Amino acid sequence: MHLSHDPAAPPAPQISFDQFLAVDIRVGRIVAAEPFPQARKPAYKLTIDFGATMGTRRSSAQITEHYTLDDLPGRLVAAVVNFPPRQIGPFISEVLTLGFPDEDGRVVLVTPSQEVPLGGRLF
């Protein structure tokens, strides 16, 4: 499945509410960000804390245009936590960190506008 980053692209086909509920999107706090020089496209390796129930998970994120390694620790982010792990070069990405493209297609992270408990599920 290819997702379009074009804001003029038509909406995706309708899905049922049960299909939406199958995607588990949770909030976590970035606790560490590291360079990922082996990635094909510029990316960082993130360690994200999803709270006591889920613990920490790792993610590769192509967010180098808008964020520095020092900007990321402490930031709340949204991530899909129920995809299977994905091998990205020598790294296993366990969650998909979510973002929107800016006008140039560079990723802007999805983040809550205020503090929320870690591990909270999007509804």
pLDDT tens string 47-75: 999 999 999 999 999 999 999 999 999 99
CATH number at residue 91: 2.40.50.140
Integer Cα distance of 65 and 53 in angstroms: 32
Which contacts qualify for 104-107: CB closer than 8 Å, 24 or more apart?
105/5, 106/65, 106/66, 107/61, 107/62, 107/63, 107/65, 107/66
The model carries a pTM of 0.91
Q: Does residue 12 lie in a domain region?
A: no
Q: Does residue 57 lie in a domain region?
A: yes
What's the domain count of the chain? Answer: 1
pLDDT of res. 50: 98
Which contacts qualify for 41-48: CB closer than 8 Å, 24 or more apart?
43/88, 44/69, 44/72, 45/91, 46/72, 46/77, 46/97, 48/77, 48/79, 48/95, 48/97
The length of the chain is 123
Domain that holds residue 79: 20-109
- Report mean pLDDT in 10-residue bins for the chain, 123 residues: 68 93 97 95 97 97 97 98 94 97 95 97 94
Integer Cα distance of 110 and 7 in angstroms: 16
